[in-house]
Copies of this chain bind each other. A is one copy, B any other.
Amino acid sequence: MNAMGATGVPEVVTVGLGERSYHILIGKGLIERAGTEIAARLPGVRAAIVTDGNVAAAWLPALTDSLSKAGIETVAITLPPGEKTKSFEHLEQVVDGVLGARLERRDAVIALGGGVIGDLTGFAAGIVRRGMNFVQVPTSLLAQVDSSVGGKTGINTPRGKNLVGVFMQPKLVIADTGTLDTLSEREFRAGYAEVAKYGLIDRPDFFAWLEANWQEVFSGGPARTRAIAVSCQAKADVVARDEFETGDRALLNLGHTFGHALEAATAYDSARLVHGEGVAIGMALAHRFSARMNLASLDDAERVERHLRDVGLPWRMSDVPGELPGAERLLEYISQDKKVSRGALTFILTRGIGQSFIAKDVPASEVLSFLRENLL
Protein backbone atom coordinates (compact mmCIF):
# COMPACT_ATOMS: atom_id res chain seq x y z
CA MET A 1 0.00 0.00 0.00
CA ASN A 2 1.59 3.27 -1.01
CA ALA A 3 1.45 6.55 0.80
CA MET A 4 -1.74 7.78 -0.83
CA GLY A 5 -3.68 4.71 0.17
CA ALA A 6 -4.42 1.49 -1.70
CA THR A 7 -5.31 3.11 -4.99
CA GLY A 8 -2.33 5.41 -5.43
CA VAL A 9 -4.57 8.36 -6.26
CA PRO A 10 -5.57 11.14 -3.89
CA GLU A 11 -8.94 11.19 -2.25
CA VAL A 12 -11.18 13.88 -3.72
CA VAL A 13 -13.90 15.61 -1.74
CA THR A 14 -16.30 17.80 -3.69
CA VAL A 15 -17.67 20.80 -1.85
CA GLY A 16 -21.03 21.29 -3.56
CA LEU A 17 -21.92 24.97 -3.69
CA GLY A 18 -23.46 25.37 -7.12
CA GLU A 19 -21.28 27.51 -9.35
CA ARG A 20 -18.87 27.96 -6.44
CA SER A 21 -18.26 24.19 -6.08
CA TYR A 22 -14.67 23.02 -5.80
CA HIS A 23 -12.45 20.00 -5.11
CA ILE A 24 -10.31 19.17 -2.12
CA LEU A 25 -7.49 16.81 -3.09
CA ILE A 26 -6.03 14.83 -0.17
CA GLY A 27 -2.93 12.65 -0.25
CA LYS A 28 0.76 12.38 0.43
CA GLY A 29 3.17 14.23 -1.88
CA LEU A 30 0.49 16.33 -3.57
CA ILE A 31 2.56 19.53 -3.51
CA GLU A 32 4.64 18.01 -6.31
CA ARG A 33 1.47 17.82 -8.42
CA ALA A 34 0.12 21.22 -7.42
CA GLY A 35 1.22 22.94 -10.64
CA THR A 36 -0.55 20.43 -12.88
CA GLU A 37 -3.71 20.46 -10.81
CA ILE A 38 -3.89 24.26 -10.75
CA ALA A 39 -3.02 24.67 -14.43
CA ALA A 40 -5.73 22.17 -15.37
CA ARG A 41 -8.36 24.26 -13.56
CA LEU A 42 -7.06 27.77 -14.17
CA PRO A 43 -5.31 27.78 -17.54
CA GLY A 44 -2.94 30.66 -18.21
CA VAL A 45 -2.97 31.83 -14.61
CA ARG A 46 -0.19 33.69 -12.81
CA ALA A 47 0.01 33.43 -9.03
CA ALA A 48 1.10 35.01 -5.78
CA ILE A 49 1.99 32.52 -3.05
CA VAL A 50 1.37 33.84 0.45
CA THR A 51 3.13 31.95 3.25
CA ASP A 52 4.97 32.42 6.54
CA GLY A 53 8.67 32.15 7.30
CA ASN A 54 8.47 28.66 8.83
CA VAL A 55 6.34 27.10 6.11
CA ALA A 56 8.36 28.84 3.40
CA ALA A 57 11.53 27.13 4.60
CA ALA A 58 9.89 23.71 4.45
CA TRP A 59 7.59 23.85 1.41
CA LEU A 60 7.90 27.01 -0.69
CA PRO A 61 10.70 25.74 -2.98
CA ALA A 62 8.74 22.53 -3.76
CA LEU A 63 5.54 24.44 -4.51
CA THR A 64 7.27 27.10 -6.61
CA ASP A 65 9.07 24.40 -8.55
CA SER A 66 5.88 22.46 -9.18
CA LEU A 67 4.10 25.58 -10.45
CA SER A 68 7.03 26.63 -12.57
CA LYS A 69 7.12 23.20 -14.28
CA ALA A 70 3.45 23.69 -15.14
CA GLY A 71 4.25 27.08 -16.69
CA ILE A 72 2.82 29.15 -13.83
CA GLU A 73 4.83 32.27 -12.95
CA THR A 74 4.81 33.08 -9.24
CA VAL A 75 5.79 35.70 -6.73
CA ALA A 76 6.08 34.85 -3.04
CA ILE A 77 4.85 37.01 -0.16
CA THR A 78 6.34 35.78 3.12
CA LEU A 79 4.87 36.95 6.43
CA PRO A 80 5.86 36.44 10.05
CA PRO A 81 4.44 33.25 11.58
CA GLY A 82 1.83 33.51 14.33
CA GLU A 83 -1.70 34.68 15.10
CA LYS A 84 -0.63 38.36 15.22
CA THR A 85 -0.23 38.22 11.46
CA LYS A 86 -4.04 38.15 11.09
CA SER A 87 -4.16 41.95 11.24
CA PHE A 88 -5.19 44.91 9.08
CA GLU A 89 -1.49 45.72 8.75
CA HIS A 90 -0.59 42.39 7.16
CA LEU A 91 -3.77 42.33 5.11
CA GLU A 92 -2.62 45.59 3.58
CA GLN A 93 0.84 44.09 2.99
CA VAL A 94 -0.60 41.10 1.11
CA VAL A 95 -2.94 43.30 -0.93
CA ASP A 96 -0.05 45.54 -1.88
CA GLY A 97 2.13 42.55 -2.80
CA VAL A 98 -0.55 41.09 -5.07
CA LEU A 99 -1.21 44.43 -6.74
CA GLY A 100 2.52 45.12 -7.01
CA ALA A 101 2.90 41.87 -8.96
CA ARG A 102 0.27 43.30 -11.37
CA LEU A 103 -1.93 40.24 -11.06
CA GLU A 104 -5.35 40.51 -12.63
CA ARG A 105 -8.74 39.24 -11.49
CA ARG A 106 -8.36 35.95 -13.31
CA ASP A 107 -4.97 35.29 -11.71
CA ALA A 108 -4.61 33.40 -8.44
CA VAL A 109 -3.62 33.99 -4.85
CA ILE A 110 -2.36 30.80 -3.18
CA ALA A 111 -2.29 30.30 0.59
CA LEU A 112 0.55 28.00 1.64
CA GLY A 113 0.39 27.45 5.39
CA GLY A 114 -1.87 26.91 8.36
CA GLY A 115 -5.07 28.60 9.45
CA VAL A 116 -3.57 32.04 9.95
CA ILE A 117 -2.15 32.17 6.43
CA GLY A 118 -5.33 30.65 4.96
CA ASP A 119 -7.67 33.10 6.69
CA LEU A 120 -5.60 36.17 5.87
CA THR A 121 -4.85 35.15 2.28
CA GLY A 122 -8.44 34.21 1.52
CA PHE A 123 -9.56 37.60 2.77
CA ALA A 124 -6.97 39.35 0.60
CA ALA A 125 -7.97 37.25 -2.45
CA GLY A 126 -11.59 38.18 -1.76
CA ILE A 127 -11.00 41.93 -1.82
CA VAL A 128 -8.20 42.58 -4.35
CA ARG A 129 -10.03 43.70 -7.51
CA ARG A 130 -13.20 42.64 -5.64
CA GLY A 131 -12.25 39.00 -5.83
CA MET A 132 -9.50 36.98 -7.51
CA ASN A 133 -9.04 33.21 -7.80
CA PHE A 134 -8.07 31.64 -4.50
CA VAL A 135 -6.24 28.33 -4.01
CA GLN A 136 -5.40 26.76 -0.66
CA VAL A 137 -2.45 24.53 0.15
CA PRO A 138 -3.06 23.92 3.87
CA THR A 139 -0.08 22.57 5.78
CA SER A 140 -1.55 21.98 9.24
CA LEU A 141 -4.13 19.40 10.24
CA LEU A 142 -6.44 22.12 11.54
CA ALA A 143 -6.25 23.99 8.25
CA GLN A 144 -6.80 20.80 6.22
CA VAL A 145 -9.95 19.73 8.05
CA ASP A 146 -11.36 23.11 9.03
CA SER A 147 -10.40 26.17 7.02
CA SER A 148 -10.15 24.23 3.75
CA VAL A 149 -13.95 23.97 3.74
CA GLY A 150 -16.49 26.69 4.21
CA GLY A 151 -15.00 29.82 2.75
CA LYS A 152 -14.70 31.77 5.97
CA THR A 153 -11.78 34.15 5.88
CA GLY A 154 -10.76 37.00 8.12
CA ILE A 155 -8.52 38.85 10.47
CA ASN A 156 -8.52 39.85 14.12
CA THR A 157 -8.95 43.36 15.51
CA PRO A 158 -8.53 44.73 19.01
CA ARG A 159 -12.31 44.14 19.36
CA GLY A 160 -11.97 40.38 18.91
CA LYS A 161 -10.93 37.49 16.70
CA ASN A 162 -12.26 36.85 13.21
CA LEU A 163 -14.68 39.76 13.41
CA VAL A 164 -13.66 41.09 9.98
CA GLY A 165 -13.54 39.07 6.77
CA VAL A 166 -15.48 37.75 3.80
CA PHE A 167 -16.98 34.49 2.60
CA MET A 168 -14.60 33.43 -0.16
CA GLN A 169 -14.68 29.95 -1.67
CA PRO A 170 -11.40 28.63 -3.09
CA LYS A 171 -11.17 27.24 -6.61
CA LEU A 172 -9.15 24.26 -5.34
CA VAL A 173 -7.67 22.91 -2.11
CA ILE A 174 -4.55 20.74 -2.18
CA ALA A 175 -4.07 18.98 1.17
CA ASP A 176 -0.69 17.26 1.13
CA THR A 177 -0.77 14.98 4.17
CA GLY A 178 3.02 14.77 4.05
CA THR A 179 3.24 18.35 5.32
CA LEU A 180 1.76 17.16 8.62
CA ASP A 181 4.90 15.14 9.37
CA THR A 182 6.70 18.36 10.22
CA LEU A 183 4.09 19.51 12.75
CA SER A 184 4.78 19.28 16.47
CA GLU A 185 2.87 16.54 18.34
CA ARG A 186 0.93 19.26 20.16
CA GLU A 187 -0.11 21.03 16.97
CA PHE A 188 -1.21 17.80 15.33
CA ARG A 189 -3.25 16.85 18.39
CA ALA A 190 -4.92 20.25 18.47
CA GLY A 191 -6.02 19.76 14.88
CA TYR A 192 -7.26 16.29 15.76
CA ALA A 193 -9.82 17.83 18.13
CA GLU A 194 -11.64 19.16 15.06
CA VAL A 195 -11.48 15.75 13.40
CA ALA A 196 -13.15 14.18 16.43
CA LYS A 197 -15.67 17.04 16.38
CA TYR A 198 -17.13 15.89 13.06
CA GLY A 199 -17.85 12.48 14.57
CA LEU A 200 -19.52 14.10 17.56
CA ILE A 201 -21.66 16.45 15.46
CA ASP A 202 -23.47 13.91 13.32
CA ARG A 203 -21.26 10.89 12.45
CA PRO A 204 -21.31 8.42 15.36
CA ASP A 205 -19.74 5.69 13.18
CA PHE A 206 -16.82 7.96 12.35
CA PHE A 207 -16.29 8.68 16.05
CA ALA A 208 -16.24 4.95 16.78
CA TRP A 209 -13.79 4.44 13.89
CA LEU A 210 -11.54 7.13 15.38
CA GLU A 211 -11.65 5.43 18.77
CA ALA A 212 -10.29 2.30 17.07
CA ASN A 213 -7.87 3.89 14.57
CA TRP A 214 -6.56 7.11 16.06
CA GLN A 215 -3.02 5.77 16.46
CA GLU A 216 -2.73 5.25 12.71
CA VAL A 217 -4.18 8.73 12.06
CA PHE A 218 -1.43 10.13 14.25
CA SER A 219 1.35 7.99 12.75
CA GLY A 220 0.55 9.01 9.18
CA GLY A 221 -0.73 5.89 7.44
CA PRO A 222 -3.68 5.73 5.02
CA ALA A 223 -6.01 6.19 7.98
CA ARG A 224 -4.75 9.76 8.23
CA THR A 225 -5.77 10.51 4.64
CA ARG A 226 -9.10 8.80 5.28
CA ALA A 227 -9.76 10.77 8.48
CA ILE A 228 -9.02 14.06 6.73
CA ALA A 229 -11.25 13.17 3.78
CA VAL A 230 -14.17 12.19 6.02
CA SER A 231 -13.71 15.39 8.04
CA CYS A 232 -13.74 17.55 4.92
CA GLN A 233 -16.80 15.72 3.61
CA ALA A 234 -18.58 16.13 6.94
CA LYS A 235 -17.92 19.86 7.00
CA ALA A 236 -18.78 20.19 3.30
CA ASP A 237 -22.17 18.59 3.94
CA VAL A 238 -22.98 21.13 6.64
CA VAL A 239 -21.67 24.08 4.64
CA ALA A 240 -23.58 23.07 1.51
CA ARG A 241 -26.77 23.31 3.57
CA ASP A 242 -25.90 26.77 4.91
CA GLU A 243 -23.14 28.58 3.02
CA PHE A 244 -23.60 31.94 4.73
CA GLU A 245 -24.10 30.71 8.29
CA THR A 246 -27.70 31.61 8.86
CA GLY A 247 -28.71 28.29 10.41
CA ASP A 248 -27.37 24.74 10.50
CA ARG A 249 -23.78 25.77 10.07
CA ALA A 250 -23.74 26.73 13.75
CA LEU A 251 -23.38 22.98 14.46
CA LEU A 252 -19.73 23.38 13.49
CA ASN A 253 -19.36 25.44 16.66
CA LEU A 254 -19.73 22.35 18.84
CA GLY A 255 -17.25 22.90 21.66
CA HIS A 256 -16.48 26.41 20.47
CA THR A 257 -18.57 28.49 22.86
CA PHE A 258 -16.89 27.09 25.97
CA GLY A 259 -13.63 26.82 24.02
CA HIS A 260 -13.58 30.47 22.96
CA ALA A 261 -14.31 31.56 26.52
CA LEU A 262 -11.30 29.58 27.73
CA GLU A 263 -9.12 30.99 24.95
CA ALA A 264 -10.18 34.51 25.94
CA ALA A 265 -9.70 33.72 29.64
CA THR A 266 -6.11 32.69 28.91
CA ALA A 267 -5.59 35.82 26.79
CA TYR A 268 -4.96 33.66 23.70
CA ASP A 269 -1.63 32.66 25.19
CA SER A 270 -0.68 29.63 23.12
CA ALA A 271 1.75 28.48 25.80
CA ARG A 272 -1.34 27.78 27.90
CA LEU A 273 -4.02 26.86 25.38
CA VAL A 274 -4.27 26.67 21.61
CA HIS A 275 -7.57 26.74 19.70
CA GLY A 276 -7.93 22.99 19.23
CA GLU A 277 -7.25 22.37 22.90
CA GLY A 278 -9.95 24.86 23.82
CA VAL A 279 -12.31 23.05 21.44
CA ALA A 280 -11.43 19.69 23.03
CA ILE A 281 -12.28 20.93 26.53
CA GLY A 282 -15.32 22.72 25.09
CA MET A 283 -16.63 19.52 23.48
CA ALA A 284 -16.23 17.58 26.70
CA LEU A 285 -18.04 20.36 28.56
CA ALA A 286 -20.82 20.51 25.96
CA HIS A 287 -21.45 16.79 26.43
CA ARG A 288 -21.30 17.00 30.21
CA PHE A 289 -23.58 20.05 30.24
CA SER A 290 -26.02 18.19 27.94
CA ALA A 291 -26.05 15.32 30.45
CA ARG A 292 -26.67 17.78 33.28
CA MET A 293 -29.64 19.19 31.32
CA ASN A 294 -30.96 15.60 30.99
CA LEU A 295 -30.53 15.71 27.24
CA ALA A 296 -27.87 13.02 26.94
CA SER A 297 -26.45 10.24 29.07
CA LEU A 298 -23.44 10.72 31.33
CA ASP A 299 -21.96 7.59 29.68
CA ASP A 300 -21.65 9.44 26.38
CA ALA A 301 -19.96 12.41 28.08
CA GLU A 302 -17.49 10.05 29.71
CA ARG A 303 -16.83 8.29 26.41
CA VAL A 304 -15.92 11.63 24.82
CA GLU A 305 -13.68 12.52 27.75
CA ARG A 306 -11.96 9.13 27.56
CA HIS A 307 -11.13 9.48 23.88
CA LEU A 308 -9.76 12.99 24.28
CA ARG A 309 -7.65 11.79 27.19
CA ASP A 310 -6.43 8.76 25.20
CA VAL A 311 -5.09 10.90 22.36
CA GLY A 312 -3.44 13.27 24.82
CA LEU A 313 -5.79 16.23 24.52
CA PRO A 314 -6.93 18.27 27.53
CA TRP A 315 -10.57 17.58 28.35
CA ARG A 316 -11.41 19.47 31.56
CA MET A 317 -10.84 23.03 32.72
CA SER A 318 -8.29 21.95 35.31
CA ASP A 319 -6.11 20.71 32.42
CA VAL A 320 -5.41 24.35 31.50
CA PRO A 321 -2.08 25.30 33.09
CA GLY A 322 -2.19 28.33 35.41
CA GLU A 323 -5.17 29.98 37.04
CA LEU A 324 -8.56 30.48 35.37
CA PRO A 325 -10.98 33.26 36.28
CA GLY A 326 -14.18 32.48 38.18
CA ALA A 327 -17.45 31.21 36.70
CA GLU A 328 -18.97 34.72 36.50
CA ARG A 329 -16.10 36.00 34.39
CA LEU A 330 -16.21 32.93 32.12
CA LEU A 331 -19.90 33.50 31.58
CA GLU A 332 -19.13 37.07 30.55
CA TYR A 333 -16.70 35.77 27.93
CA ILE A 334 -19.41 33.41 26.70
CA SER A 335 -21.93 36.25 26.45
CA GLN A 336 -19.47 38.33 24.44
CA ASP A 337 -18.92 35.53 21.96
CA LYS A 338 -20.06 36.48 18.48
CA LYS A 339 -22.32 33.44 18.34
CA VAL A 340 -24.55 35.11 20.91
CA SER A 341 -27.59 36.49 19.15
CA ARG A 342 -29.44 39.47 20.66
CA GLY A 343 -28.41 38.55 24.20
CA ALA A 344 -29.83 34.99 24.21
CA LEU A 345 -27.31 32.25 24.96
CA THR A 346 -27.02 29.84 22.07
CA PHE A 347 -25.10 26.59 22.55
CA ILE A 348 -24.49 23.49 20.51
CA LEU A 349 -25.72 20.70 22.79
CA THR A 350 -26.21 17.00 22.13
CA ARG A 351 -28.55 14.07 22.69
CA GLY A 352 -25.59 11.66 22.48
CA ILE A 353 -22.56 10.83 20.34
CA GLY A 354 -23.20 12.21 16.85
CA GLN A 355 -26.51 13.79 17.81
CA SER A 356 -25.69 17.44 18.31
CA PHE A 357 -28.22 20.24 17.83
CA ILE A 358 -28.53 24.01 18.13
CA ALA A 359 -30.01 24.99 21.50
CA LYS A 360 -31.27 28.56 21.69
CA ASP A 361 -32.26 30.39 24.87
CA VAL A 362 -30.11 28.29 27.15
CA PRO A 363 -30.61 29.83 30.63
CA ALA A 364 -27.50 31.70 31.74
CA SER A 365 -28.16 30.60 35.33
CA GLU A 366 -27.76 26.92 34.36
CA VAL A 367 -24.50 27.66 32.58
CA LEU A 368 -23.26 29.57 35.59
CA SER A 369 -24.01 26.74 38.04
CA PHE A 370 -22.42 24.25 35.66
CA LEU A 371 -19.26 26.32 35.34
CA ARG A 372 -19.06 26.68 39.14
CA GLU A 373 -19.26 22.90 39.62
CA ASN A 374 -16.69 22.19 36.93
CA LEU A 375 -14.17 24.77 38.05
CA LEU A 376 -13.77 22.95 41.36
Identify A131's interface contact among B92, B96, B160, B167, CB under 8 A. Answer: B167
Given contacts A131-B244, A166-B127, contact A159 B100 (CB under 8 A): yes
Let me know if A170 is at the binding interface, CB within 8 A: no
Let me know if A342 is at the binding interface, CB within 8 A: yes
Assembly CA distance A201 to B256 (angstroms): 52
Let me know if A341 is at the binding interface, CB within 8 A: yes
Residue pair B157, A96 in contact (C-beta under 8 Å): yes
Q: Write the chain B residue with the least CB distance to A126.
A: B166
Which chain B residues lie closer than 8 Å to A157 at the CB level? 92, 95-96, 99
Residue pair B130, A342 in contact (C-beta under 8 Å): no
Which chain B residues lie closer than 8 Å to A167 at the CB level? 130-131
Against B, the Cβ 8 Å flags (1 = close, 0 = not) of A79-90 are 000000000100
Residue pair A163, B131 in contact (C-beta under 8 Å): no
Against B, the Cβ 8 Å flags (1 = close, 0 = not) of A310-321 are 000000000000
Assembly CA distance A165 to B95 (angstroms): 11
Contacts beyond the supplied A99-B157, A99-B160: 8 A-B pairs with Cβ under 8 Å? A88-B88, A88-B92, A96-B157, A96-B158, A127-B164, A127-B166, A130-B152, A131-B167
> What are 26 A-B pairs at a CB distance below 8 A?
A88-B88, A88-B92, A92-B157, A95-B164, A96-B158, A96-B159, A99-B159, A99-B160, A99-B163, A99-B164, A104-B342, A123-B127, A127-B127, A127-B164, A127-B165, A127-B166, A128-B164, A129-B163, A129-B164, A129-B338, A130-B152, A130-B153, A130-B165, A130-B166, A130-B245, A131-B167
